Amino acid sequence: MASLDSHVLMKLVSLFLSTLFVTILSSESQCRNFESIISFGDSIADTGNLLGLSDHNNLPMSAFPPYGETFFHHPTGRFSDGRLIIDFIAEFLGLPYVPPYFGSTNGNFEKGVNFAVASATALKSSFLEERGYHCPHNISLGVQLKIFKQSLPNLCGLPSDCRDMIGNALILMGEIGANDYNFPFFQLRPLDEVKELVPLVISTISSAITELIGMGGRTFLVPGGFPLGCSVAFLTLHQTSNMEEYDPLTGCLKWLNKFGEYHSEQLQEELNRLRKLNPHVNIIYADYYNASLRLGREPSKHDTCPLVAV
Ligand SMILES: *[C@@H]1O[C@H](CO)[C@@H](O)[C@H](O)[C@H]1NC(C)=O
Ligand SMILES: *[C@@H]1O[C@H](CO)[C@@H](O)[C@H](O)[C@H]1NC(C)=O
């Protein structure tokens, strides 16, 4: 589930992209044209998979307005009224919007394929359920990757062609992991308990990248977390009369933002480790965190409401 308001998400997209593409373009020898985008993740990158997987009698919110209103002029299954970050990435690279894998009847996946499903977790849903955290479905990162592998003969044919396809793609790995934390935080579980999940989430993301490198992957874009303490849902659920718990600049909950930073720092350390192990692979960290925080710090500058109204 998106933890950020879609309007806010749209605004952060442009901020974030301006930084991101400087990174891609300045990666000297790695600078080349991507032939496609292969995407894994949750609602932040879901271009219609949850909708495609849903029963007609039980459609997700993203099947109804205001989702899709301002850009596509009809609901597309995106949890946004406009485009998602992945859509802007596709536009920038001169590629079509990345089609959802699930629910496509005659999908053309030559220039991209998207496995990101809203409310997906990095960790297996059975593992999270055992801990008492309810997951809406079981299409975790591992399941997305498994389905990707199973679909390869249809997507690209021969193993050697698939290696080329994966090697020439920009692989968007996430954002994924936020829901692993969101679900327990929604249930008001203690911070220490949720923190135990961080190394497990990071190692799941790392394993997925490693597996894709083994399959020929050469360029990865890996987003960190969001400032969860600015999310309207958490500001409501975890509200407190102790004003010291709020960041005076943004009105966001400090402890939850620290948690988001912690995840992102751990992720960056792991990405550094992967870079050393795989010097021929280009692994780009995408800082969604600071980009979205800027909206909260300077709302008027970005023509947006403050992220929060405490
Ligand atoms: C996911 O859940 C469906 C039923 O909702 C089940 O048929 C399927 O086997 C499960 N898959 C995994 C990988 O757990
Ligand atoms: C935010 O930006 C600072 C300064 O560039 C950086 O050190 C930090 O890792 C970023 N935070 C996240 C969560 O990416």
Q: Which domain holds residue 12?
A: 6-47+83-297
Task: Give yes or no for residue 287 CB within 6 A of ligand 2.
Answer: yes
Q: What's the whole-number mean pLDDT along residues 67-95?
A: 96
Q: What does the alpha-carbon distance between residue 240 and residue 253 come to, in Å, rounded to a whole number?
A: 9
pLDDT per position as a tens digit, 11-25: 455 555 555 554 554
Which residues are bridge partners to 283 per DSSP? 220
Give φ, ψ of 173 to 5 degrees. Answer: -105, 80
Q: Looking at residue 246, which CATH number applies to its domain?
A: 3.40.50
For ligand 2, atom 6, the nearest C-alpha belongs to 290
Task: State the closest ligand 1 atom to the C-alpha of 125, by its place in the atom list counted from 1.
Answer: 14
User: At residue 155, does pLDDT exceed 80?
Assistant: yes
pLDDT per position as a tens digit, 291-301: 999 887 887 77
Q: What does the alpha-carbon distance between residue 174 and residue 171 come to, in Å, rounded to a whole number?
A: 9
289 C-alpha to center of ligand 2: Å?
A: 7
Whether 64 is covered by a domain: the verdict is no
Ligand number with the minimum distance to the CA of 263: 2
Task: State the closest ligand 1 atom to the C-alpha of 126, by its place in the atom list counted from 1.
Answer: 14
User: What angle (nearest 5°) sits at the alpha carbon of residue 261, between those of residues 258 and 266?
Assistant: 130
Task: State the closest ligand 2 atom to the C-alpha of 261, by its place in the atom list counted from 1.
Answer: 13
For ligand 2, atom 4, the nearest C-alpha belongs to 290
Q: What does the alpha-carbon distance between residue 170 and residue 43 come to, in Å, rounded to a whole number?
A: 19
Whether 266 is covered by a domain: the verdict is yes
Whether 22 is covered by a domain: the verdict is yes
AA identity, residue 141: L
Task: Give yes or no for residue 200 CB within 6 A of ligand 1.
Answer: no
3-state secondary structure of 37: strand
Whether 32 is covered by a domain: the verdict is yes
User: At residue 175, does pLDDT exceed 70?
Assistant: yes
Q: For the chain, what is the domain count?
A: 1
User: At residue 28, does pLDDT exceed 90?
Assistant: no
**Longest distance between any two alpha carbons in the chain, whole Å:** 61
Q: What does the alpha-carbon distance between residue 252 and residue 56 come to, in Å, rounded to a whole number?
A: 38
Whether 201 is covered by a domain: the verdict is yes
Task: Give yes or no for residue 264 CB within 6 A of ligand 2.
Answer: yes
Whether 56 is covered by a domain: the verdict is no
Whether 57 is covered by a domain: the verdict is no
User: At residue 150, does pLDDT exceed 60?
Assistant: yes
Q: What does the alpha-carbon distance between residue 44 and residue 174 come to, in Å, rounded to a whole number?
A: 8
38 C-alpha to center of ligand 1: Å?
A: 23
Q: What does the alpha-carbon distance between residue 178 and residue 202 come to, in Å, rounded to a whole number?
A: 11
Q: What does the alpha-carbon distance between residue 139 and residue 144 come to, in Å, rounded to a whole number?
A: 6
Ligand number with the minimum distance to the CA of 288: 2
AA identity, residue 131: R
Quick one: pLDDT at residue 7?
A: 43
CB 172 within 8 A of CB 118: no
For ligand 2, atom 3, the nearest C-alpha belongs to 290
Whether 67 is covered by a domain: the verdict is no
Q: How many CA atoms lie within 13 A of 40 on its CB side?
A: 27
